[in-house]
Amino acid sequence: MGKFTFTETKIKDLYVVEPTAFGDCRGYFMETYNERDFTEAGLCYSFVQDNQSCSRKGVLRGLHFQKNHPQAKLVRVLKGEVFDVAVDLRKGSKTYGQWVGVLLSEENKRQFLIPRGFAHGFLVVSDVAEFAYKCDDFYHLEDEGGIAYNDPALGVLWPDVGELILSEKDKHYPPLKESKIEF
């Protein structure tokens, strides 16, 4: 049995990755990434940076991207639950401006593989969530960008968690049409 199940979403190159967890009375063990298995599935990435955040219910982070140094990401939840979203911004893509949302949790252990050329964001739906992700390029502060999480043209269906908590920059990102970003 393979250690991972790779399921392509309705958007080409955007995958839900499900690792196999081996459990017993002590708990569980699982690989969250194995270069050989990913490469055999045609998903060739060289991750160079790992990040982790902790947020409370209602925190919405996104929709972010790096303008000149786009990053592929492999994201997962260590504790709690988030609704994770990727928006296709690839130039010439048939699905440009479309999004996919996936519920990631410590229980389902799913991961979301987001290639370069996508905006990314997530909403915490549990009381607290610890979120971890691998990136295939380094973060560059001066290169960050974003689009409005509530852009009506995108129509992202965020779960209702009550009041949203956003950073100042996330409150002021433009809609996709005004950002004119394409990768």
Residues 118 and 132: beta-carbon distance below 8 Å: no
Q: Which of 15, 45, 120, 133 is catalytic?
A: 133
Annotated catalytic, 96? no
Give the whole-angstrom CA distance, residue 86 versus residue 102.
9
If we measure between CA atoms, which residue out of 116, 106, 123 comes closest to residue 74? 116
Annotated catalytic, 173? no
Residue 165: phi and psi, rounded to 5, are -115, 115
Alpha-carbon dihedral sign for residues 132, 117, 98, 35: negative
- Give one DSSP letter per residue of 14-41, joined into a string: -EEEEEPPEEETTEEE--S--HHHHHHT
If we measure between CA atoms, which residue out of 129, 1, 135 comes closest to residue 65? 135
Give the whole-angstrom CA distance, residue 123 versus residue 53.
12
Q: Which of 15, 64, 120, 149 is catalytic?
A: 64
Q: Which residues are catalytic?
A: 64, 133
